[in-house]
Structure 1
Amino acid sequence: MRELGISVLDELIGQLARLPGIGQKTAQRLAIFILKSSDGYAQELAQAILNVKQKTRLCKRCFNVAEDELCAICSDPRRDTHKICVVEDIVDVLAIEETHTYRGLYHVLGGVISPLAGVNPEDLNIRSLIERVKNEPIEEVILALNPSTEAETTIIYITKLLKDMEVQISRLASGVPMGAHLEYLDGATIGMAIQSRQKISKDT
C-alpha cells in the first residue's frame, strides 16, 4: 500500500475509521495516540485484538459472546433462570448488565425483522428462543428491543409465536425514546425501563 503513496499511519487511520462510531478526526487522534505510546502498549493492544478474534465465540444457548460453549451469564448459577431478556445485539447485553438491575438470562436475536434490508425471521435467532421457552423453566420473556418500526414488527412476530405458551411477555417501559439504542442510553434510563416493563397482550 505504501507504493501507492499511503503511509503506515494513513493505513492505521483508515482501519480505525472503519470502526462504528469512529469518524476520521477521532481515528486520527487514536492513531497518533498509538504512535506515541510505548511498544509494550502497542503489542498489548494488538494481542488483545487477536485474542478477542481467536478465543471468543457465540454462546450456544443465548448467542452472547463467550469463551467457552456457554457465556459467563448462562454459566452463572446465581442468575434467575425464569426470565429471558431478548435483545437485538451483544452490545445491548452489555448496556443492560451495566445497570445492575436485571439478574435473569438473555437471548440475542442478532438483529430485527426488516424485509427491506433482506432480514427475515429465519435469519435471526428466533426459533432457538421459542425452543428455550419450551424446554427451560421460563416464566417471563422481556422484549428489550431498540425502539423502531422494525422492532415493533419483530415484537409482534415473537408475541404470536409465544401466544399459546404459558409465559408472560413484557417490553421495556415507554421511557426509552423511539429510535434510541440501548448502548447509548444512560444506565438509570435503562434500569428504570426494565423495572417498569409493561406486559404485552398475547392478542396483539
Structure 2
Amino acid sequence: MRDFSAEASQQMTQVIRLWDLPLRIFHWALVICVASAWGLGRFGPDIMTLHFLFGYAVIGLLVFRLLWGFVGPRPARFRSCLYGPRAVFAYLRDIPARRPSYWPGHNPLGGLFVIALLVVLAAQAAIGLVADPQDYVNTGPLARMVSAKISRMALNWHDILGKVIMLMVVLHVATILFYRLWKREDLIRPMIVGWKRVCGRK
C-alpha cells in the first residue's frame, strides 16, 4: 500500500546544502579522536601518550566548534540548536510517526544533544588536563597546578565521564538507526555530502 501522506510530504520539501564542509570535517574528526582517545584510555597501552595526543586534538576541535557556533553558517550556529520547551515537546509528540521529519538542521532534541555532548566533552578534556594517577608517567600537563586531592578526584571523574560519553555515543547511534529504519530518514549521508532534504520549517 502506498503511503500518500509521505509522498505529499516529500513533494513539499527541497534538497539544500545544509552542512558546510568545515562542520562536516569537524564532525568526523571528532568521531575519530573521541573513539581513539576512549579506546586507548580503556584498553591501553599503559603509557598513554597517544591518548593524550587524541585528547589534545579533541580540545582543538572543541575550540573550533565553539568559534564556528558563533561565526559559522546558520545551521552550524548554537542559536540554531536551541529551541523553547513548546518546540521540544511538539517534536517529542511527533517522534513516533513513521515518516521523515525533514528538519532543516538540528531538530529540537538533536540540538539539545549536540550542546550536551559538547559540554561533556569539554569537561572531560579539562579534567584530563589535571588528572594524576600518581604513576609518574600519565600525569595531566596541568596536574601540578592543583592539589593532589583535586588531581585524584579529577582522575575519578575522568573515568565516570568516559562512561557517560560512551552512553551518549550509543544513544546517538541508536537514534540514527531509529530514524533510518523507522522514520525512513538518512541522517548520515547529509553529514557526508552536505545536502539534505528539508521542509520549509524555520
- Give the TM interval when normalised to the shorter protein: under 0.3
TM-score by length of 2: 0.23
**Larger helix proportion of the pair:** 2
TM-score by length of 1: 0.23
**Larger strand proportion of the pair:** 1
